[in-house]
Amino acid sequence: MSRYAPTLVRLIGELVRLPGIGPKTAQRLTFHLLKTGREEALALAQAIVELKERIRSCAVCYNISEGEQCPICADPTRDGSVLCVVEEANDLWAIEKTATFKGRYHVLGGSLSPLEGRGPDQLTAKALLQRLEGGEVKEVILATNPNVEGEATAMYLSRLLKPLAVRATRIARGLPMGSDLEYADEVTLSKALEGRRDV
């Protein structure tokens, strides 16, 4: 590695900081960018620069946005009586892809994680409560991730919502479609049993 040109070492170093990119992949990508056309490589660099310059968070729901409001908040056809609370903007897009939810969103900006120093003040929970003051929202769906931090965050939010005249629900945790009971982990299986419904 020491014999690489410093410019290469630097790019490899920057790439390794990305999630899921190890030293080998970083090296392969660097050599690819070296071989690739000047225009294509610079287009990538430019796209990164513009990402940081153009993207901000929606003033209403904290979704990523290029304007003051994100496309979903700006869409008058969305149902304002249901609010889906997610941790990050990519969770929002995952739900949007299902094309089954027609309500609005609220992006928390993460989950409660004392270990990583993220408390309630790091989340947009206060803004969520302010949005509920109008009285338009009838249901808040807590769609944080079904892991330790996400569950704790949902629990925390449900307590915040309790005094308000709003229904708080949590997305179902159970066996994923197409999976096998035999290979399911105990926690998922017990959640699936716990969440059973009449057919």
Contacts for 58 with CB less than 8 Å, ≥ 6 apart: 64, 65, 68, 69, 70, 73, 107
Q: Is 54 near a second copy (CB under 8 A)?
A: yes
Only one of the segments 82-90, 115-123, 125-133, 158-166 lies at the binding site for a second copy (rule: CB under 8 A); that segment is 82-90
Question: CB-wise, 67 or 120, nearer to a second copy?
Answer: 67
Quick one: which of 61, 62, 65, 108 contacts a second copy (CB under 8 A)? 65
Q: Hey, what amino acid is at 46?
A: Q
Token pair belonging to 62: 């904290």
Q: How far is the CB of 169 from a second copy (least distance, A)?
A: 24
Q: Classify residue 122 by its DSSP letter.
A: G
Q: How far is the CB of 133 from a second copy (least distance, A)?
A: 27
Helix (H) or strand (E) holding 54: helix 38-54
Q: Is 147 near a second copy (CB under 8 A)?
A: no
Q: Is 42 near a second copy (CB under 8 A)?
A: yes
Beta bridge partners of 139: 82, 167
Whole-angstrom distance, CA of residue 199 vs CA of residue 194: 15
Note the residues at the interface with a second copy (CB under 8 A): 1, 3-8, 10-11, 13-15, 17-21, 25, 27-35, 38, 40-52, 54-55, 64-66, 70-72, 88-90, 93, 96-97
